[in-house]
Amino acid sequence: MNISLEKIDRVNALLTINIDKADCQERIDKILKEYRQKANIPGFRRGMVPMGLIQRQFGKTVLVEEVDRLMQEKVNEYIRDNKLKILGMPLPNQEKMKPIDFEHQNAYEFVFDLALTPEFKIELNQTDKIPFYTIEVTDKMIDDQVAVYRERAAKLEKVEQYQDRDMMRGLLVELDENGKAKAGGIQIESATLMPVYMKNDEQKAVFNNAKLNDVLTFNLAAAYDDNDIEIASLLKIKKEEVEGHKGDYTYRVEEIQHLVPAELDQKFFDQIYGEGVVTSVEEFRTKIKDDMIARYQGDSNYRFLIDAREYAMNKVGKLEFPDALLKRVMLENNQEKGEEFVESNYEGSVKELTWHLIKEQLVEAYGIKVNDEEVRNMARQVASMQFAQYGMTNLPENLLDNYVQRMLEKKETVENLVNRVIENKLGVALIAKVTLEKKTVSVEEFNKLFQS
């Protein structure tokens, strides 16, 4: 057996491996003997089948499997022992790889294309300046978050007169062209309306200061901007039936419910943050501010890593890649999409690959490692943020633990979590290495950074 490497250029190489049948004959004989012991062939007792018959039935299959196994084992061993840095897996060379006749040949040659990783060195230090944005948490932002929490914990209270954002119940009656109740027309008892969600300001104004038992006339189609789905939902009919019911309606107000924000009391504080965590309005606002600063710190770090990525890629410059070979890999992985897909997406793939190689080098240089506990903590953090989006900030520990466990049972999720831990650690390491150009911005200014 012989293995040789021929470098075509800086990023392409040919790996040739020659295997003789004798290199795997001992293992082939052993496998065939095991087959003989287990073979159940009519006319022969178990273990007494002639070896010639076993050879004729299974010899070629075993030979092919063993040559392939030995070839893969030795190729991987050669790459590992010679510390070859390659992109992806070796691919059979389409020109030099000759068909193999396992029936008559005793020597087999395999030729593989290797995509070599481009050689470069990335180093970042205090001479490198990268922007770092801190989001200012204002009193208005805290006020708005307090209002959100109060509204989430609000209660409905029956009132006599309509105010903006109130919910109404009443009798909805379809009218004819003369303004009378339409014969055979639609009548909906206890129809629910929230005028605040109407699209037309003129129709919305019809309900201003409405009182119990008032009868109001409005145009349903105009109120909802001819949105057949919303109209059908209100009238409890099919969307296809809406066209014949877009005229005027009367609405007799039978009930008005006003959303009363929760009081800023201890019961409310406990509901949001847990029993006894905060005990006053001042502590509540401070806790909200601390939470927002922590959340925005994560956003700042995320933005910093984006800017650090762009900076590092510009510093490294355009790397040389084995384009033809990488496009071939993309095409094999996306055969149903064809060459047009490969050509239109190749540049973006190369950019991602460039960052991957830079990140890989930096992670190794900074000695970044990831353990199971860190992955679990990241899963817990992600889960908490997901629940917080729906106002669920005080979940029972067992519920959160069970959700995290389900996350960790999915391989793809775990891989994403590991990558997030690595990038977080890399961001922290880079913050300590480079010079930060610190800038304090509003949340609106920060969001605009992602629009460019």
User: What is the pLDDT confidence band of residue 391, given thresholds at 50, 70 and 90?
Assistant: low
Q: Count the neighbouring beta carbons within 10 Å of the beta carbon of residue 379.
A: 23
* CA proximity to 116, closest of 16, 9, 226: 9
Please give the structure tokens belonging to residue 67.
């040559």
User: What is the pLDDT confidence band of residue 174, given thresholds at 50, 70 and 90?
Assistant: very high
Q: Count the neighbouring beta carbons within 10 Å of the beta carbon of residue 176.
A: 12
Phi, psi of 85 (to 5 degrees): -100, 110
52-68 mean pLDDT: 88
* CA proximity to 373, closest of 416, 428, 417, 431: 417
Element (H, E) at 426: helix 411-433
Q: Which positions ≥6 away from 363 have C-beta within 8 Å?
A: 422, 426
Q: What percent of the chain is modeled with pLDDT above 70? A: 99
424-428 mean pLDDT: 94
Residue-wise pLDDT tens digits, 313-333: 999 999 999 999 999 988 888
Whose structure tokens read 């959700």? 403
pLDDT at 94 over 90: no
In total, the chain counts a number of residues equal to 452
pLDDT at 309 over 90: yes
pLDDT at 452 over 90: no
Whose structure tokens read 């909802």? 224
Contact criterion met (CB below 8 Å) for 118 and 320: yes
Burial class (CB in 10 A: 0-12, 13-18, 19+), 156: exposed
Phi, psi of 7 (to 5 degrees): -80, 120
153-167 mean pLDDT: 92
* CA proximity to 298, closest of 447, 433, 135: 135
203-210 mean pLDDT: 96
Specify the amino acid at residue 188: I
Contact criterion met (CB below 8 Å) for 363 and 398: no
Element (H, E) at 12: strand 12-20
Predicted pLDDT at 10: 93
Predicted pLDDT at 344: 93
Q: Is 174 helix (H, G, I), strand (E, B) or coil?
A: strand
Q: How far apart are CA 130 and CA 426, in angstroms?
A: 14
Q: Is 146 helix (H, G, I), strand (E, B) or coil?
A: helix
Q: Which positions ≥6 away from 60 have C-beta within 8 Å?
A: 102, 103
Element (H, E) at 132: strand 129-135
Please give the structure tokens belonging to residue 294.
């922590």
Q: Which positions ≥6 away from 56 have C-beta within 8 Å?
A: none
pLDDT at 58 over 90: no
How many CA atoms lie less than 13 Å away from 161 in the CB half-sphere? Answer: 2
Burial class (CB in 10 A: 0-12, 13-18, 19+), 68: middle
* CA proximity to 165, closest of 58, 270, 261: 261
Residue-wise pLDDT tens digits, 324-379: 999 998 888 888 888 899 999 999 999 999 999 999 999 999 999 999 999 999 99
- Beta-bridged to residue 115, according to DSSP, are 12
Q: How far apart are CA 244 and CA 174, in angstroms?
A: 11
pLDDT at 37 over 90: no
Q: Please state the domain extents for the chain.
A: 2-115, 129-141+272-449, 155-260
CATH 1.25.40, applies to 129-141+272-449: no
2-115 and 155-260 agree in CATH topology: no
Out of 3.40.50.300, 3.40.605.10, 3.40.630.10, 3.30.70.1050, select the CATH number for domain 2-115: 3.30.70.1050
What are the b/e assignments for 292-320, b being 16+ CB within 10 Å? beeebeebbbebbbebbbebbbeebeebe
Specify the amino acid at residue 51: M
Distance of CA 329 to the CA centre of its chain: 24
Lowest pLDDT segment from 38-42, 121-125, 237-241, 295-299: 38-42
Per DSSP, helices labelled H in 39-117 are 51-81
User: What is the pLDDT confidence band of residue 68, given thresholds at 50, 70 and 90?
Assistant: very high
pLDDT at 393 over 80: no
Provide the sign of the torsion angle of the four alpha carbons 80, 86, 92, 94, taken in this order. negative
User: What is the pLDDT confidence band of residue 43, given thresholds at 50, 70 and 90?
Assistant: confident
Lowest pLDDT segment from 137-146, 157-166, 378-387, 431-440: 378-387
User: What is the pLDDT confidence band of residue 101, given thresholds at 50, 70 and 90?
Assistant: confident
- Radius of gyration, alpha carbons of the chain: 35
Compute the mean pLDDT over every residue in the chain, rounded to the nearest whole number.
92
Out of 2.60.40, 3.10.50, 3.30.70, 3.40.50, select the CATH number for domain 155-260: 3.10.50
291-320 mean pLDDT: 94
235-241 mean pLDDT: 94
Q: Is 244 helix (H, G, I), strand (E, B) or coil?
A: helix
